[in-house]
Structure 1
Amino acid sequence: MHTVAILALDDVVPFDLAAPMQVFDWTRLPDGRSPYRVRLCAESPEVRTDGLVLRVDRGLDALEDADTIIVPGRSEENGPPSDGVLAALRQAAAAGTRIASVCVGAFVLAEAGLLDGLRATTHWMAAAELARRHPRIEVQPDVLYVDNGQILTSAGAAAGLDMCLHMIRRDLGSAVAAHAARMCVVPLEREGGQAQFIVHEHPPVPRGSDLEPVLEWIEDHLADEVTLGAMAARSGMSERTFSRRFREQTGTTPLQWLLRARVRRAQYLLENSDHTVERIAQQAGFGSPTAFRERFRRVVGTTPYAYRSAFHGKPAAPANRA
């Protein structure tokens, strides 16, 4: 039997804690047997969470013989996790234990050094902060979850459920995972694959950054051809210096920032206008409808037509199908 240890820290997010416990506990093999043993563990016997106090009867030693460890999200008001928690996670990782985080639980894995040199995700609102604090992590804010093999991270709480179903499918196959999804009344795979729907905010940049003028210029010229050389020249830096400083301050590259800015412009137009996909491709600077469809799907995880159908105030015309 595969043992799953859910690590509860003070101010743990209740849904982040409950979702993995439920999905693994409800998983059944075709003969009705339960393939997972779920354990809730913590550093101390009592864990505070959102006005509640949880009684936990297993300590950090429960991580030693776990096959999978799940670290739910938590409020950061209490500061970083203790040295004991970080040491237990490092020891488990060194032993080959599979370790996954839900939402901002990625910060705990990052503090333990388990995400260095890896791709990772977290809630989109915290992605820039994760990249700022831990520059050795390749933060991907626009996916539901990232599977590096031994180490996995997920975006928001619902994405944590997607990640758990993905692990069940890896362990036991699609049929068992599909049954677990039905028990939780969720789809095995959400439309959009592994991408979050990005909200209408500018890609993150620290306040008062010396990049703000060039970023404002980019936003004003999304419909034009914007090259790395043009961005660097606008900032008065060499391309190499501009790229390095840009990544240090935003956690991403200039061209990735530009792509996401264009996607955000396209999302706004898909939601708030009746413009054709062809016109939106031009307004957002994608060059051609084909390039627009391909890049939009790669970033958002669904087609422009499907996105408009889900978020537009009224049904999209069939002629706009992408």
Structure 2
Amino acid sequence: MTFTVRSLRPDDPWDAESCAAVRRAAIPYLVCTAETLAWQLAHGAAGQRLHRFVAERPDGTVAGCIEAGLVAGSTEPGQGFVHTAVAPGATGRGAGSALVAAGEAYLAGLGVRRVLSWVADAECAARFAAHRGYARSRQARFLGLELRRAAFPALPDPLPAGVTLHRVAEFTHDLRPLYEADTECSADEPGAVPVGRTRFPEWLRHNWQRPDWNAELSSVVLVDGQVAAYSVAQTDGVDRYWSGMTGTRRAFRGRGLARLAKLAALRRARAAGYAHAYTGNDADNAPMLAVNRRLGYTEVATEWRCVKRL
């Protein structure tokens, strides 16, 4: 089949929804909405230079999409990414190849020398990536939890001395303490690209002004008035919940505070009517994988971070 590869039209609601539908079908354990896709193109980090292409069938329907851009905040210049999704019924017909070629050409024009991509841990996906010069680097595990059937423990009552539990919505007048905690925790996360400190205005826009991040469900744990741990909620407004980031500051680790923050967020998500919870961790992030499994998450998918030199 012949596909036409073109830029996604962010002001076209049908175009954004078609792209989001492909991503939901191809990667069902991620939260993706048309509103967020359009918002990212219009308001995302300027340094990312994000661009999206779609592969269009002759009848005008979208068979696949790709996003390409620079790794924002990377301390190494020339780092870029491509993330490809093809509708399950359209694989093996050339849409993925055409999209990757378009994404790589766009990155080459930005001076990218090293491209990163997430590739499913499946034989066909591995062959596709290897044939195009991508080599496996790091592994990530995606875990899922059916909220309506989850046997969550009750929240501790009373909480340990000095510990208080809050919603992020209570802190929207001043999110800088959460920014400092997130910056510290993110620096300790295993990853393929070293990333420097993000400036507060950029962090605020990327984390709390995008439409799918939910301050009402997100949790913050304070110890003696200081932000000690947190769990960020991302939702599709329908039935799907994603843990965007959960972390504990170094001085407070080993006390079960990340689990407390995440448990509170999950319980609120269930009460709000969300049915499916997902999260993802680097395969080497043993502490967080252990927290998630204790909460009842089970593995639903594995992906590889793959790297190519342009």
Give the number of the structure whose alpha-carbon radius of gyration is greater. 1
More strand by share: 2
TM-score scaled by length of structure 1: 0.31
More helix by share: 1
User: 1 or 2 for the larger relative contact order (CA 8 Å, sep ≥6)?
Assistant: 2
TM-score scaled by length of structure 2: 0.32
